[in-house]
Amino acid sequence: MKEELIEKLQTLLQNEQITEIIDGAHQIVHDYQQAKDEFVKSAKATFVEEGGDPHYFEPPKDPLDSKFKELQNLFITRYEEHKAAQKEVYRENLEIKQDLIEQLQDVVSNEENISKAFNRMNAIRKKWDETGPVPRHKQGETREQFSKLVEEFYYHIKIFKELKDHDFKKNLDHKNQVIENIEKLMKLDSIKEIQLLLDAYLVEWDQIGPTFQNDWPDVKDRFYKAYHEVTGKIREHFKQLRDKQKEHAEAKQKIIDETKALITEFPKDHRGWKSLTDKVNHMQEEYKKIGPAQRTKNNSLWDDFRAVIDAFYDAKREFYQQKKAEFKEVRSDKSEIIEKAKSLIPAEDVNFEKVDWKRLTNQIIKLQKDWRGAGLLAQSEERKLWKFFRSVCDDFFAKKKSYFDSLEDRQKENLAQKENIIEQLEQFEPSGENEKDMEQLRKLTFDYQQVGLVPFKDKNKLNNRFTAATADVAKKLNLTPKQLKQTLFKAKLEVIKTEDPTAKRTLQNEKRDIDRKVKSLQDEKLQYENNLGFFQYTPNDNPMKKEVLDKIGRIEKQINELKEKSKNVNLALRELNKQAEEAAKKAEEGETAAEAEKTEG
């Protein structure tokens, strides 16, 4: 069967006229795919009957498939080239006919010599008849323009006076007959037949000469009414066809999406894989029941669906191949989870108020979920590891409980400390020694930020008092708002360096936030600078231009302030890195000394 289809396709492709082989080639492709599917289905059934597990079935490779795919690709290439060439020819024909319409318009409007007008008219009509079809969406408009000008030509140069009445009558009868033929097309069911006949009738209509001027409006109205009704029927047919194909495409895409959702997470055991395989097989059956979409869309959808199915079976095959190594991986994973959990427990010397308990709790809970999803070991080993992991978690939650049990009392103490610092700021009087006063301000703001959390209801009121007090001190010390911001920001960085157990990550996050704000402001500035192009020749005192310039100035000021903050964060990070290097160096020197003493002993 496959060999016969390949020979048929080879024979068709020997025909250089692609238009003569399109339908036959499509039918062969459909028949071959059907034969291929039946062959795979039969092979799978034989494999199962012989005792094979259907999960491990892999369709045999058939060299005929590759040969057929080459021929199919050759046909697709020729077909696409044909369509592209045909489209280009239609476009060129449209340009030619539009030029002929312009020439005919010139004859109708400007040519006064009847003999010369006739010669030009005949040459234009001959060229028009020799020119092939134009794009379908332009056919009606182009033909209507040309026909109207042809009729105007005969009327304007009073050619009808030289024609015999029986010619007008004959043309009238001919036109009425064409109109009746077009009207009868509404009774046909085959759209393809309607299109072919309509094209032939339109050519026939264009070749009919003029008729009586008094009869022309009625004839023209009847013609265009019949023409629009038929073309409306054609458009409605293709609209319904496109809608149906779109529905099929959406239904197929829904199957693809649902199948993707099914295999987002793969099962962990044989029972799960069996259940999932049944669901995937059901999806394949449902997909095959759906009618075709548009040809190109249909092919791309099938490729997407085939890729999803292949990914599923690849994962399934890998699961069973790795089944033997499961215990080893589970043991490694759970040991790693225990180590991660141990690393999350805050050290005893850490300031618990600076610990991000919410983040650590979420990580512990995630590790507990990871533990449940890591699989099972032998019962005795599983119990031993679980007991150890649970003790680590209990240790963490015990420390968290101890912290939060005393949180209210500590917050009240913190409130009292912050109120005391604010009172010192409110009572601050300059000593006259600027450096000493600045150091006092830095110390008070540092101490304030170093104090932990206060009761939530007092937070805003306390921060407002602190802001007002620091602003008042800044005025007394002749500090600008910018200098005050820098002082407060540096105090914040000092608190992070000395009190935050994750200082490096906190500073890195702070820098990323600053960099994002700088980038956003730079983009905004660039937009305003581009807008200045509209005011290129406008004086700078123009209100709108001045408003844009002021906005650019404010943005530049904000960018500079943020860059100064970024510089301070970088300095803090370098200082932390330096401290870490020195600590590591001392630890290494201590280990070396201990090793030397051990050797000497």
User: What is the C-alpha separation between 533 and 528, in angstroms, rounded?
Assistant: 9
Burial class (CB in 10 A: 0-12, 13-18, 19+), 290: middle
Contact 344, 363 (CB under 8 A): yes
Cα–Cα distance measured from residue 225 to residue 229, given in angstroms and rounded to the nearest whole number: 6
Residue type, 576: L
pLDDT recorded at residue 174: 92
CA atoms within 13 A on the CB side of 269: 5
- Helix runs in 185-215, H state only: 191-207
CA angle 247, 249, 250 (to 5 degrees): 65
- In 3D, which of 84, 69, 94, 66 has the Cα closest to residue 18? 84
Structure token digits, residue 170: 């004959």
Separation between Cα atoms, residue 309 and residue 395, nearest integer Å: 46
Cβ atoms within 10 Å of 346's Cβ, excluding its own: 18
Q: Return the domain boundaries, the chain.
A: 1-162, 500-601
Six-digit token string for 180: 């009746």
- Does the pLDDT at position 591 exceed 60? no
* Tokens read off for 493: 């960085």
Average pLDDT in the chain: 80
Helices (H), 16-135: 22-49, 63-110, 114-130
Q: How far is CA 542 from the centre of its chain?
A: 43
Q: Alpha carbon of 108 to those of 98, 145, 195, 451, 495: distances in Å?
A: 15, 13, 32, 95, 91
pLDDT for residue 405: 67
Amino acid at 251: A
Confidence of residue 160 (pLDDT cuts 50, 70, 90): very low
**Taking 70 as the threshold, does the pLDDT of residue 376 lie above it?**
yes
CB 374 within 8 A of CB 334: yes
| Residue position matching structure tokens 């449209």 | 94
Separation CA 371–CA 456 (nearest Å): 36
Interval 313-334: pLDDT, tens: 888 888 767 765 667 778 888 8
**Residue range 197-203: average pLDDT?**
90
- pLDDT over 80 at 155, yes or no: no
Which residues, other chains included, contact 301 with Cβ-Cβ below 8 Å and sequence gap of 6+?
249, 252, 253, 256, 293
The C-alpha atoms of residue 217 and residue 209 are separated, in whole angstroms, by: 15
State how far the Cα of 537 lies from the Cα of 540, in Å rounded to an integer.
Answer: 9
> pLDDT at position 594, please?
56
- Asked if pLDDT for residue 177 goes beyond 90, the answer is yes
81 near 101, Cβ under 8 Å? no
Rounded Cα gap, residues 134 and 86, in angstroms: 10
Tell me, what's the pLDDT at 471? 79
pLDDT-based confidence at residue 181 (cuts at 50, 70, 90): very high
Comparison of pLDDT for 388 and 352, the residue scoring more: 388
Please name the residues in contact with 388: beta carbons below 8 A apart, sequence gap of 6 or more. Answer: 338
Backbone angles phi, psi at 290, to 5 degrees: -80, 140
More confident: 179 or 526: 179
How does DSSP classify residue 208? S
Output the six-digit token pair for 78: 């020729």
What sections of 477-542 are H helices per DSSP? 481-499, 503-531
Q: What's the predicted TM-score (pTM) here?
A: 0.28
Residues of the chain with pLDDT > 70, as a percent, come to 85
* Residue that is written with structure tokens 């109207």 in the block: 148
Ranking 77-91, 165-179, 277-291, 563-577 by mean pLDDT, the lowest is: 563-577
- Provide the pLDDT confidence category of residue 438 given band limits of 50, 70 and 90: confident
Question: Phi and psi for 404 in degrees, rounded to 5?
Answer: -75, -25
Of 557 and 252, more confident? 252
Tell me the pLDDT tens digit for each residue of 106-150.
Answer: 888 887 676 788 888 889 889 898 888 888 888 888 888 888 888
Q: Which residue reads 């005391």 in tokens?
A: 420
pLDDT, residue 270, reads 66
Is the separation of the CB atoms in 548 and 530 below 8 Å? Answer: no
Instruction: Compute the distance between CA of residue 170 and CA of residue 224 in angstroms, rounded to an integer.
Output: 20
Mean pLDDT of 173-190: 90
471-497 mean pLDDT:
68
Q: Report which residue type is found at 10.
A: Q
341, amino acid identity? A
Closest CA to 495 of 442, 562, 436, 434: 442
Bigger pLDDT: 307 vs 350: 307
pLDDT tier at 461 (50, 70, 90 boundaries)? confident
pLDDT grade, residue 491 (50/70/90)?
low
- The per-residue pLDDT for range 227-275, each reduced to its tens digit, is 999 999 889 888 888 888 888 888 888 888 988 888 888 887 768 888 8
